[in-house]
Chains A and B, each alone.
Chain A
Amino acid sequence: MIETRGLRKSFVSRQGREKKTVEAVRGVDLDVAEGEIFGFLGPNGAGKTTTLRMLATLIEPDDGSATIAGADLRADPGEVRRRIGYVAQGGSTWDDSTAREELVLQARLYGASKSDALARAARVLDGFQLSDYADRKCKTYSGGQRRRVDIALGIIHEPKVVFLDEPTTGLDPQSRAHMWDEIRRLRAEGMTVFITTHYLDEADALCDRISIMDNGEIVASGTPTDLKREISGDVVRVGLPMEAVAAAAQALNTYKIETYDDSVRLYVEDGAVAIPQILRALDAADVPLGTIELHRPSLDDVFLTKTGRSLRES
């Protein structure tokens, strides 16, 4: 449904007299299958939004090619526009308009007749449970309601692919869960959904497949489960008194290890086999032990092993 090869974009930013070229996206290859929720995960500034805006025809790529829903992005952006929906991060509604007015206008901009536009608006208002406030001005809506209007605007013309840029950023936990249901509903209706997020749990819970982006490049792609399996088997976290961390790191230097203030994390093939060995090694080195935990790796661990940084700190 979406196929990109070597997409690139750089910007020239000016600081005083100095011109600096920032390579925002450096050669992105993506393959998104029909009917999946595809997640684009990465820290702020990784190039996710730039990539999305290129795919949505809002900025022109410097290089590379892309086919979206069968239309060529570079050769025929007009046709791409007809086949996709795009929901920007910052919202898209006007304070003094009502949701119904916005939806009718949007449908008509996509070429619908007046009666068709009214029918479509009524249908999506119903689908997104917005009918009760449809004729109130957008400025009276809650954050979650307004976000639902944004998404309704993005799909009013029943696109094959819809791009959602950080659809849940800034929402409270309940609205977020609600939004996840809405996004799954879009997939159930046959749409391919492409979302960006910097929430690991969101990518994990919602997406069929993800690509992790860092510094303008894709560093890993796959299903969340595969990606987590890929980085060895398990993570063992050993809690220690602060002064013992260095000694523990020394004793366990045969393992792949990350040190923290009050703990070390070990990436091991099989936790059940490794734990007794770890205990013995620590015991032999006389390192006092606080706690020991075994857990399955999270997407944060994936990010950590691929980029050397934690997503939370970047």
Chain B
Amino acid sequence: MKLLRDTSLIFNRQMQLLLRNPVWILVGVFQPVMYLLLFAPLLKPALQVQSNAAAYEIFVPGLLVLLAIFGGLFQGFGLIAELRAGVIERSRVTPVSRLALLLGRSLRDVVSLIAQAVIITLLALLFDLRVFIGDLLLAYLMLALISLMTSAVSYGVALAVKSEDALAPLMNTVAQPVLLLSGILLPLTYAPGWLQGIADYNPFSWAVNGTRALFRGDLGAPDVWQGLLIMAVLAVLAVAWSARMFARSVR
């Protein structure tokens, strides 16, 4: 009960500050939209599919997962600014739940990610993408879990390193192999066997496969529940770890 109340207090404040500068949501959408307009047209011939719609069906889910991973991983920068301003320390001397300090922020990140995902999905509809609303909502759940996990990880790491200069290279180093090994830009069905073998150990590749299955309308595919389950477990672990970082001393 107290956790819920505290989480909503932190969440409301973070949303209020975000909405005071809504331009950030649009900035976040700008890059994926560029991919949608300037990269996706290459895919129909490259993937040797019949129509633009088929190409978008493969590309858009990957793009959304990409957005969720990167969007989350870079949230730590905002937290470092808050650390520097003393806002975190001020919260930590109050009896507020430590888990709420994390969840309030991470849920804000989830909401802003879903807002971006909706904008991109709507734009993709203009390019003949078609997806069932039920499948789409499940895909959004997948995105929400991914973003919850990556933002929690990013906050935890930010609390540990306490400096932008250390956080940026760290997050880039993590994100790049994760990105390449998840078949986000091109499906790994085209990859040689050894590469697929490695990718099987990348949880995000399961998330991408699951999201693609949902966009295909293949709700029954095992990829769907496997992807959701793996992301849910990892999100719980990431939140638990990061909440402990919030409870620990901040310098």
Contact = CB atoms under 8 A, between A and B. Distances in A.
Contacts of B92: 58
Contacts of A97: 13, 17
B33 to A, nearest CB: 27
Interface in B175-195: none
A45 interface: no
B95 A105 contact: no
B9 A88 contact: no
A93 B9 contact: no
B89 interface: yes
Interface in B14-54: 16-17, 20-21
B249 A59 contact: yes
Contacts of A94: 17, 82, 85, 87
A109 B82 contact: no
Interface stretch (A79-87, A223-231, A235-243): A79-87
A103 to B, nearest CB: 11
Q: Is the interface of A mostly helix, strand, loop or mixed?
A: loop
A82 B82 CA distance: 23
Find the residue from A81, A94, A109 having the highest chain B CB count within 10 A: A109
Given A92-B86, A92-B90, 16 more contacts: A58-B93, A58-B250, A59-B249, A78-B95, A81-B95, A88-B86, A88-B89, A91-B86, A92-B85, A92-B87, A92-B89, A94-B87, A96-B20, A109-B9, A109-B96, A111-B95
Interface string B120-139: 00000000000000000000
B95 A91 contact: no
8 contacts: A84-B93, A88-B89, A90-B86, A91-B85, A97-B17, A101-B13, A109-B9, A110-B94
A91 B82 CA distance: 11
A298 interface: no
Interface of B: 6, 9, 13, 16-17, 20-21, 82, 84-87, 89-96, 249-250
A70 B211 CA distance: 56
9 cross-chain pairs, A with B, having the tightest CB-CB distances, nearest first: A92-B86, A92-B90, A109-B94, A86-B93, A109-B96, A59-B249, A81-B95, A91-B86, A90-B86
Nearest to A114: B9
Contacts of B91: 109
Nearest to B16: A101
Interface string A39-54: 0000000000000000
Interface string A96-121: 11000100011011110000000000
A58 B82 contact: no
Contact of A88 (B20, B90, B95): B90
B27 to A, nearest CB: 16
Contacts of B21: 96
A73 interface: no
B154 to A, nearest CB: 19
A95 B94 contact: no
A58 B95 contact: no
Given A58-B249, A96-B17, A110 B95 contact: yes
A60 interface: yes
A57 interface: yes
A248 interface: no
A105 B85 contact: no
A195 B162 CA distance: 27
Nearest to B97: A109
Contact of A153 (B90, B96, B249): B90
A86 B250 CA distance: 15
A95 B86 contact: no
A56 interface: yes
Contact of A57 (B17, B20, B93): B93
Interface in A151-208: 153
Nearest to A137: B20
Interface in A117-154: 153
Nearest to A111: B95
Contacts of A153: 90
A169 to B, nearest CB: 14
A93 B13 CA distance: 13
A88 B87 CA distance: 10
A81 B89 contact: no
A94 B89 CA distance: 12
B211 to A, nearest CB: 34
B24 to A, nearest CB: 12
Nearest to B88: A92
B93 A108 contact: no
Given A91-B86, A96-B20, A97-B17, A56 B93 contact: yes
Contact of B95 (A82, A85, A96): A82
